[in-house]
Amino acid sequence: MKPFELVNASSLSSALGALGQAKGAVAKAGGVDLLDLMKEGISAPPRLINLRTIAGLDKIAAASGEQGAVLGPLATLAQLAESKALAGVPAYAALAEAAAAAATPQIRNMATLAGNLCQRPRCWYFRDADYHCLRKGGNKCFAHSGDNAFHAIFENDKCAVVHPSAAAVALSALGAKLELQRAGKDGKVATRELAMADFFVAPSKDVQRENVLAAGELISAVKLPAPQAGQRSAYIKQKQKQSFDWPLGEVAVSLTVTAGKIAAASVVLGSVAPIPWRAKKAEAALVGKAADEALIKAAAEAALAGADPLDDNGYKVPLVKALVRRALTQALVSK
Amino acid sequence: MSSGPPIRRRPTGPVRPGQQPQVNVIGRSIRRFDGKGKVTGETPFGGDLAGPEAYTALVIRSPHPHCEIEDVELAAARAIPGVVAIFTGDDIGGTNRHGLIRRDQEVFSRRARFMGDCLGLIVAATPKIAQRALEAVKVSYKELPIVATMDDALAEGSYPLHETGNVLSTELIRRGDADSALAESDVVVNTETRTQCVDHAFLDREAGMAYMEDGVVTIYASGQWIHEERRLVALALGLPQERVRIIQPATGGAFGGREDISIQIYLGLAALKLDHPVRIEYTREESMIARHKRHPIRIEYTLGATREGVLTAAKVRILSDEGAYASTGPAVLRKAVSHCTGPYRVPNIHADGVAVFTNNNPTGAMRGFGACQLAIAYESAIVELSRVLKIDVVELKRINLLDDGEGVTTDQKIPVVGVRDCMEAALRRIGWDKRSYETPAPHLRRGYGVSTICFGVGYGDGFPDASRARVRMADDGVVEVFTGGVDFGQGLHSLAAQIAAKELGVDPLAVRVVASDTHRTPESGSSSATRQTVFTGNAVRLAASEVAGQLLDVAAAYTGLHWDDLELRGNAIAAKHDIAGHEDRTVVLPLRQAVRLGRERGYALDVESCFKPRTVAKQKGTGKSPRAFITYMFASHVAEVLVDIETGEVKVARIVAAHDVGKAINPQQVEGQIEGGVVQGLGMALMEEVVSEGGFMKNASFTDYIIPTIVDTPTIEALVIERDDPEGPYGARGVGEPGLIGTPPAILGAIADAIGTQVHETPANAERVWKAIKRSERAGDGASA
């Protein structure tokens, strides 16, 4: 690991200022992925701006009335998993479940929501400094001809990484928005708000980045829409072992059921594409219908329509179909 | 058969004052004297020893799995302030080669055959400087063709990795006439089993230190056989063995993974050349890349039987991926071939094994040592035979398991064959006859699998396998035990204390153990091959009982009583039974006084003993041996699993593991060994796999190389069966490896029971199980959603 300077920020605005000034300065929240990247020689920032010294960034504000829950960027996965404002609300349950199922207790205590969203891919070619792959500015995706059992089955023609964030899958299903801030030229803080889908960047647009976060820009808040009457959500993942493992596939769904029919549906697949993968065909299959076993099965088929597995990851197709069925069933039976 | 020997209940706790230690010290779960320090974190391990003054050494490794090294440019690295030295092959005073069976690995490679090969050794004032120097080293090399797989190695015109070509060794067994017997068999089944490459994944990475003391290179490093490591270090450094001292610190796991040399030569070289303390600590990635692994083995198995289910013949072809160097490969292959029919009565055997070199990690010793791969294969063939014959697998085993006095694969006759006792005990415990197939959800299937396995203890095959131990009465009345045997967590040192305590009638926790130091302790051989309980256990027992005899002689002379009427008990010499003047079995002489008197009379009270049973080398042309191994372990596991037939995910619900250990000297340690073996076996069965691509290891971290956690661990019930071994100490036979060996076949059998078809490749991860379900659905049998 290269030596670096660590700056403890005292406020969000001072952090934004520090990030805007120093070239190559990088924000550090929990530091879980950042430290990995630095140890692996993938990233060597000269200066880290420590956000954990800023008070109040881990706040979770519960939904009230028309106002949805607002999540502080430094809320840890453990806090999200245990928060009554999430786990206790059927519409938000998927996020609490995603946070609870991630990694290990130790990592969940350190890893933050914003850090989780901004993780870099876990592709073993990307993570190995010896492979100068497309995402690192090279000219080749090594997964295409290599061992790609854990890689993407959608949008994998350019770079076949899968997006590593479980929270991103759940937040996409919940229709969350991200508030981003950076230091403006006038010294004031510039704020913008983005839908989840507009935050993540597919390889076809830019293969070297996973999101639109500009240099010096931070996620300052994650905003959930207010829960709707009859809305419930669920998240399910499959790993190779029960703890301390990355998923083979994951699914988050949000359903709003009124008068016995599905009024609104979102189905998002994780670990299948370089971005959280919205299964729009599955959503279309569900909306307006009364849920039954046949519908769930049809939605699962629709969710995986168009999947184009590589040599070694065909198993993800039936696996994720089963997970879609289970996530839908779980959401429908939850109260 | 149902009335087997009793299953032991575990007595717990140390011997309390007033109890009679010599009666019950054996078979009691004596607390480990090293337990508290390890649990509280006070015990230093290899990485904790060096002081701040020590230099840091860092290995320059090969940039490519197979290459001729043309040049290693060191000038830039040497110019960095704080870089003390960079050593290469030119600095080696002895031979530049090491290796346990063949000296085929260079200390500093001129031609690299795998990614772990070492090109040079940087020594710097601090770890950071060493790292900076490593980054400044430029290696120019010529790539050589990569032999990535066993098929590559055997292909016509494959690039030879060693002068002798790409075949390391071959092994065979010829018994009877397997071809004719198969032709005459009512039923013949064929299976092909593929096992994977597995890492030991011990937590305590390779780490240690070395310094010079009175001209002696003193090395603190964790291995499995310090005296052999001393031989290899002395050879490399060109020093007499007396000038090399190896001391093993507390060690966190080995599992065979410390049998090959790791950091010892590097440490010794740097300390010798610089006359300054030096430390090395591998990173996890380095540890996984540099270390040898478990052999991936491909086994084609043909098994014949009569219509009634009596086995007639086995034909077995074994192909083993040796990786880049021999390591212990030839012995692993012999173990695989010599265990190819397990605990079954098979009159005709034709087995061939071939071990081939590739550019993958060298493969060598790991718990199970070839026998565990073969157990997967023969149990798979038995399950297949059960399916074809429509005979329940347990019935099939009852028909064919060996009985006392019958011969294993090598035709060695085994006096005590406890495998039936183990199986029946395990079946009773799981409730076999009333087992339920109910599941909590329609997509789940429940299944049960039974394994029956055997394992030859010790090096065997005529190898001069010996353990020495020294037992001494110190003047303060404390019993001292000296053994060179290493304890990497399995509890050997506590066991040695327990045995000495039994023989000398003292509290085991009061025994002073001096261990694992080539300058202070006699050679006790390798802590491997499930051998130390039998070998060092016997050596300690012999030495201690001779010291005890001397003390009884002292007391007899002092009291005028016959030594046969006396015994050592409760730190004293006491009457063994009611004798005149000592009606209440009273103490006749306190131990400390006996020691003083003994010394005055010229008794040394200091004995070194050797246990060196003879085995018989394999017969040329048949591979048979009347005594390939000094004794055999038998075990049976029953696994209960739940399989998700939509995703293929397997959850192991319960494992019962019954082991005939002969005698459980410390039942808690025995159970711990069995439980640990079960978890490691579960990892091999379901999830662990070293993934290599063209010689590059892709998952050299615990992020990507996954091992079971407590959340993956089922209820484990260890059943200890005790049928005395004729030669083991107190009848003990050993316990180290079979706990792993029995687990994968039991789990795989349970999966087959659940889904109606077998998975023939390990790990049986969710994807492989799902694919097996789909294959069998297409074939029109098995489970369906």
What is the mean predicted confidence (pLDDT) over B633-646? Answer: 98
Q: Which residues of B touch A3 (CB under 8 A)?
A: 128
Q: What is the 3-state secondary structure (H, E, C) of B566-635?
A: EEECCCEEEECCCECCECCCCEEEEHHHHHHHHHHCCCCCEEEEEECCCCCCCCCCCCCCCCCCCEEEEE
Fold observed for domain B46-144+206-281: Aldehyde Oxidoreductase; domain 3 (3.90.1170)
DSSP state of A211: B
**Chain B residue with the nearest C-alpha to that of A323:** B647
> Nearest-CA distance from A322 to chain B in Å?
6
Does A242 sit within 8 Å of B765, measured CB to CB?
no
Q: What is the CA radius of gyration of chain A?
A: 20
Asked, colleague to colleague, whether B21-30+466-611 and B46-144+206-281 share their fold, the answer is no
Residues of chain B with Cβ-Cβ distance to A315 below 8 Å are 648, 766-767, 770-771
CATH architecture of B21-30+466-611: 2-Layer Sandwich (3.30)
Q: What is the pLDDT of residues B579-591, one digit of tens each?
A: 777 766 788 899 9
The answer to whether A240 contacts B702, with C-beta atoms less than 8 Å apart, is no
Yes or no, beta carbons of A149 and B767 under 8 Å apart: yes
Euclidean distance between CA atoms B734 and B188, whole angstroms: 36
Across the interface, do A322 and B771 touch by the CB < 8 Å criterion? no
Helix or strand (DSSP H, E) at B182:
helix B178-184
Cβ burial A77-94 (10 Å sphere, 16+ → b, else e): bbbbbebebbbebbbbbb
Convert the pLDDT of each residue in B550-572 to its tens digit: 999 999 999 999 999 999 999 99
A279: phi > 0 → left, psi -120 to 50 → alpha, else beta; which? beta
Say how far residue A71 (Cα) sits from the centre of its chain: 14
Do the chains contact at A241 and B647, CB–CB below 8 Å? no
Distance from CA of B263 to the nearest CA of A (A): 23
- pLDDT value at B659 more than 60: yes
Q: Chain A residues contacting B, CB < 8 Å? A: 3, 36, 122, 124, 128, 130, 146-147, 149, 238, 240-246, 248, 315, 318-319, 322-323, 325
> Mean pLDDT, chain B, as a whole number?
95
Whole-number pLDDT of residue A185: 82
Give the model's confidence band at B781: pLDDT under 50 very low, under 70 low, under 90 confident, else very high: low
**Of the CATH numbers 3.40.50.10540, 1.10.3720.10, 2.60.40.1260, 3.30.390.50, which one belongs to the domain with range A231-330?**
3.30.390.50
- pLDDT for residue B3 is more than 90: no
Compare CB distances from B767 to A245, A315, A325 and report the shortest one's residue: A315
State which residue of chain A sits closest to B713, comparing Cα positions: A242
| Contact assessment for residue B180 and residue B747, using Cβ atoms and an 8 Å cutoff | no
Q: Residue B186: pLDDT band by 50, 70, 90 thresholds?
A: very high
Choose among A30, A19, A26: nearest CA to A42.
Answer: A26
Distance CA B449, CA B522 (A): 44
Q: Compute the nearest-CA separation of A242 from chain B (Å).
A: 6
Q: State the smallest CA–CA distance between residue A51 and chain B in angstroms.
A: 26
Domain boundaries, chain A: 231-330
Ranges of beta strands (E only) in B417-534 are 444-457, 467-473, 479-483, 512-515
pLDDT at B48: 97
Cβ of B706 and A244 within 8 Å?
Answer: yes
The pLDDT, as a whole number, for residue A20 is: 85
Task: Give helix then strand counts, H and E, for chain A.
Answer: 13, 12
Look at B646 and A242 and tell me if their CB atoms are within 8 Å.
Answer: no
Spell out which residues of chain B touch residue A111, defining contact as CB-CB under 8 Å. Answer: none
Stretch A167-190: mean pLDDT: 94
Q: Which two tokens stand for residue B311?
A: 């086995």
* A185 closest CA partner among A17, A9, A14: A17
Q: Rg of chain B over CA atoms, in angstroms? A: 27
pLDDT reported for residue A1: 80
Q: Which residues of B touch A41 (CB under 8 A)?
A: none
Chain A residues with beta carbon closer than 8 angstroms to that of B699: 124
Higher pLDDT, B785 or B428: B428
Q: In this complex, how many residue pairs, one in chain A and one in chain B, have their CB atoms less than 8 Å apart?
A: 59
- A241 vs B646, B687, B770: nearest CB: B687
- CB contact under 8 Å between B767 and A323, yes or no, is no
Q: What is the reported pLDDT for A323?
A: 98
Q: Which residues contact A314 (CB under 8 A, 6 or more apart)?
A: A153
- CB contact under 8 Å between B770 and A241, yes or no, is no
**Which of B115, B132, B706 best tests the A interface by mutation, with the highest count of A CBs <10 A?**
B706
pLDDT score of B6 more than 50: no
Token reading at B767: 């994807």
Of B646, B687, B704, the CB nearest to A322: B646
The rounded percent of chain B whose pLDDT value lies above 90 is: 94
**What does the buried/exposed string (b/e) look like for B588-616 if buried means 16 or more CB atoms within 10 Å of the residue's CB?**
bbebbebbebbeeeebebbbebbbebebb
**Mean pLDDT, range B366-390, rounded to an integer:** 98
How close is the nearest chain A Cα to the Cα of B69, in Å? 18
Contact across the interface for B703 and A242, Cβ inside 8 Å: no
Contact A124 B771 (CB under 8 A): no
B711 and A241 within 8 Å at the Cβ level: the answer is yes
Give tens-digit pLDDT for A278-330.
Answer: 999 999 999 999 999 999 999 999 999 999 999 999 999 999 999 999 999 99
CA nearest to B711 within chain A: A242
Q: What is the mean pLDDT of residues A246-274?
A: 97
Model pLDDT for residues B405-444, shown as the tens digit of each residue: 999 999 999 999 999 999 999 999 999 999 999 999 999 9
- State how far the Cα of B62 lies from the Cα of B59, in Å rounded to an integer: 10
Mutate to test the interface with B, among A37, A39, A241, A313 (most CBs of B within 10 A): A241
Check CB contact under 8 Å for B706 and A248.
no
Q: The tokens 């009124």 sit on which residue?
A: A258
ipTM of predicted assembly, 2 dp: 0.90
pLDDT value at residue B7: 52
The Cα–Cα gap between B273 and B88 comes to 12
Q: How confident is the model at residue B615 (pLDDT cuts 50, 70, 90)?
A: very high
Average pLDDT over chain A, rounded to whole? 96
pLDDT in tens, A40-49: 889 999 999 9
Residue B300 has pLDDT above 60, yes or no: yes
pTM of the entire structure? 0.94
Q: Which residue of B has its CA nearest to A142?
A: B693
Across B662-676, average pLDDT? 97
Q: CATH number of the domain at B297-461+618-779, please?
A: 3.30.365.10
CA–chain centroid gap for B694, Å, is: 29
User: Which residues of B touch chain A, with CB atoms under 8 Å apart?
Assistant: 128, 443, 644, 646-649, 686-687, 691, 693, 696, 698-699, 702-704, 706, 708-709, 711-712, 765-767, 770-771
pLDDT number for residue A229: 96
Confidence of residue B326 (pLDDT cuts 50, 70, 90): very high
Residues of A in contact with B711 (CB under 8 A): 241-243
Tens of pLDDT, residues B93-146: 999 999 999 999 999 999 999 999 999 999 999 999 999 999 999 999 999 999
**B771 with A315: Cβ contact below 8 A:** yes
Q: What integer pLDDT is reported at residue B15 of this predicted model?
A: 42
A188 against B580, higher pLDDT: A188
Domain boundaries along the sequence of chain B: 21-30+466-611, 46-144+206-281, 297-461+618-779
Question: Do residue B766 and residue A238 have CB atoms under 8 angstroms apart?
Answer: yes
CB contact under 8 A, A241 and B691: no
pLDDT, position B664? 97
- Find all residues with CB under 8 Å of B62, minimum gap 6, and list them: B69, B109, B112, B114, B115, B116, B117, B118, B119, B139, B141
Give the E-state strand segments of chain A in sequence order.
5-8, 25-28, 47-50, 60-61, 70-71, 177-183, 189-195, 218-223, 231-239, 247-258, 261-270, 277-278
Cα gap A255→A174, rounded to integer Å = 9
The answer to whether the CB of B473 falls within 8 A of the CB of B547 is: yes
Flag if B687 and A315 touch (Cβ within 8 Å). Answer: no
Tell which of B649, B689, B777 to mutate to test the A interface (max A CBs under 10 Å).
B649
Out of B647, B691, B709, name the one closest to residue A241 (CB). B709
Nearest chain A residue to B441 by CA distance is A326
In angstroms, what separates the C-alpha of B667 from chain A's closest C-alpha? 30
Edge-to-edge strands, sheet with A231-239 = A231-239, A247-258, A261-270, A277-278
Q: Which residues on A lie below 8 Å from B708 (Cβ)?
A: 241
Q: Name the residue of chain A whose CA is nearest to B770's CA.
A: A315
Identify the pLDDT of residue A205. 97
Task: Please choose, from the candidates B682, B670, B754, the residue with its C-alpha nearest in 3D space to the C-alpha of residue B715.
Answer: B682
Residue in chain B closest to A315 (alpha carbons) equals B767
Alpha-carbon distance of B715 to A270, in angstroms, equals: 32
